[in-house]
Homo-oligomer: A and B are copies of this chain.
Amino acid sequence: MSKFIEPKRPKGFRDLFGEDIKLRNAMLDKIRAVYELYGFEPLETPAMEYVETLGKFLPETDTPEGGIFALQDDADEWIALRYEFTTPLSRIIAQYPELPLPFRRYQLGPVWRVEKPKPGSFREFIQFDIDTVGTESMAADAEICSVLAEAMEKIGIQRENYIVKVNNRKILNGVLETAGIKIFLDESNLTQLALQTLRTIDKLDRIGISGIEDLLTTGRLDESGDFMKGVGLNSEQVKIIIDYLNITSKSRKDFCEKLKSVIGNSRIGLDGIQELEDIDRYLSVIGIDEHRVIFDPTIVRGLTYYTGPIYEVFLTFDITDENGNKKQFGSVAGGGRYDDLVQRFLGKKVPATGASIGVDRLLVALKLLNKAQVQSAFPPVLVTTIDKNLMLEYQKITAELRNAGISAEMYLGQGGFKKQLKYADKKNIYIAVILGSDEFENNQITIKDLKLGEKLSKQIEDRDKWRKEQPAQIIIPRHNLVNEIRKIIDKSGLSQIKYK
């Protein structure tokens, strides 16, 4: 073993630098503004909760600790990093009975899951949630759909590039009931057969209708060649499910009508349709049409706690996957109604609904669409330090710029002029200020426009003319420094940081 430590990050984690953080924060500011426009207020809960609070709601994991980062604290109690914000919210509702209901809050921050590290999937990722707790009204669900649509448009995703898809767990249960599958084990837990069936349906986009048929009955070989056991339904049962999945309509109203013929007399299924009809009415009255929010039978959502309407936001523009095939960008947000989650604490139902935006994936999408444009701030002015006898003078110049609200740094490294310009280049700096002993004595100073210099060195023809008109380097009286730099900043079209 080397005597030195290897500098490395834990697997599945990331480092983020300058511009990426600024782009993300600009996007988050816009989403936050939409959330606040809708009357939601911020909430922050700890990174860690008791494992018991978090419960066992991650799909595809079987033990309470499966999929989460857990440890025993100094009192030997099991605590773990939150893996989402909904279970902590349910703890908040139970712990603070004085909160006015309906409680409308947003929460932003990282969550952690022990996922297999793979490209684009991380163990620490940022979610931006919005929830309304304490109302059964479908107006709340309609509002979640419209706030999501609004947020997409606010950050620059055009109407044809996203769609909010809505379904209802009650309708899915109705289909199961119609197919003769027992739904509930007890008041709030699904049977194993119901869960298996739903999770199979949730694979539709990956394995297609025929794959679903195989998996619901006898099983199928997956891509890796392993055999996946079937759920064991008979062909009549599967037909009902497939008929349901094949329902399509560009009209929310018409979709509900078609559903009725598949659902038959299932009470819970009809309740679900009724809820979708309510949502349609609330959306339609405010002009949110099927170009923004549609109903879709194939939306299932993995988490077991959903009890009513479920939503998912898809970005519909094409990307090229790792195999060179075109496919839609896919899901960037999702949620649903979870009327039983607070019950774990209080023993009484507190109806709730909400959604979560996957911030990291959404930022990737924005970049692909070239929409992640932050109004970039003008980079710091570099005060070069070429004469070590003038260090205090350089310090004074730097302070002068900062006092005028101009972001500035004095070069603090060891290198000479060439190295300092290279540093400026690496940092994408626009302006360098240069002061030599001659200039110092003559009360002059040099401003070097590095971006213009770069442009000029590429434009060989007409270079002399160009240079004469827009010199990349000017010598000015020292007392004009701030004004001259302000002029260059103004011409750049970039903003100064909001300081004053």
* Chain A residues packing against B (C-beta within 8 Å): 3-11, 13-18, 21-22, 33-34, 36-39, 41-50, 52-53, 69-71, 73-75, 77, 79, 81, 91-92, 94-96, 100-102, 104-105, 110, 112, 114, 124, 132, 134-137, 139-140, 142-143, 146, 281-282, 285-287, 344-347, 377, 380, 391-393, 395-396, 398-399, 402, 405-414, 422-423, 426-427, 497-499
The list of the 6 closest CB pairs from A to B, nearest first, reads A39-B409, A39-B380, A13-B46, A7-B94, A286-B399, A7-B95
Chain B residues positioned under 8 Å from A16 (CB to CB): 42-44
Judging by beta carbons under 8 Å apart, are B499 and A33 in contact? yes
Chain B residues positioned under 8 Å from A134 (CB to CB): 412-413
**Within the assembled complex, what's the spacing in Å between the Cα atoms of A53 and B15?**
14
**Within the assembled complex, what's the spacing in Å between the Cα atoms of A423 and B134?**
12
**Within the assembled complex, what's the spacing in Å between the Cα atoms of A497 and B39?**
11
Judging by beta carbons under 8 Å apart, are B94 and A15 in contact? no
Q: Shortest Cβ distance from A411 into chain B, in angstroms?
A: 8
Chain B residues positioned under 8 Å from A136 (CB to CB): 414
Chain B residues positioned under 8 Å from A38 (CB to CB): 380, 402, 407-409
Chain B residues positioned under 8 Å from A8 (CB to CB): 50, 53, 91, 95
Contacts A/B (CB < 8 Å), 16 sampled: A3-B347, A7-B94, A7-B346, A9-B91, A11-B73, A15-B43, A18-B41, A18-B43, A18-B105, A21-B42, A38-B409, A47-B47, A100-B423, A100-B426, A139-B391, A139-B395
Nearest chain B residue, comparing its CB with the CB of A75? B11
**Within the assembled complex, what's the spacing in Å between the Cα atoms of A137 and B48?**
41
Q: Shortest Cβ distance from A354 into chain B, in angstroms?
A: 12
Q: A344-B4, A497-B33 are in contact. Are A15 and B45 (CB under 8 A)?
A: yes
Judging by beta carbons under 8 Å apart, are A42 and B69 in contact? no
Judging by beta carbons under 8 Å apart, are A392 and B282 in contact? yes
Interface-central residue, A39, A287, A399, by most chain B CB under 10 Å: A39
Judging by beta carbons under 8 Å apart, are A139 and B344 in contact? no
Chain B residues positioned under 8 Å from A285 (CB to CB): 392-393, 395-396, 399
Q: A15-B45, A53-B7, A395-B282 are in contact. Are A139 and B347 (CB under 8 A)?
A: no
Judging by beta carbons under 8 Å apart, are B114 and A50 in contact? no
Judging by beta carbons under 8 Å apart, are A37 and B395 in contact? no
Judging by beta carbons under 8 Å apart, are A17 and B43 in contact? yes
Chain B residues positioned under 8 Å from A5 (CB to CB): 52-53, 344-345
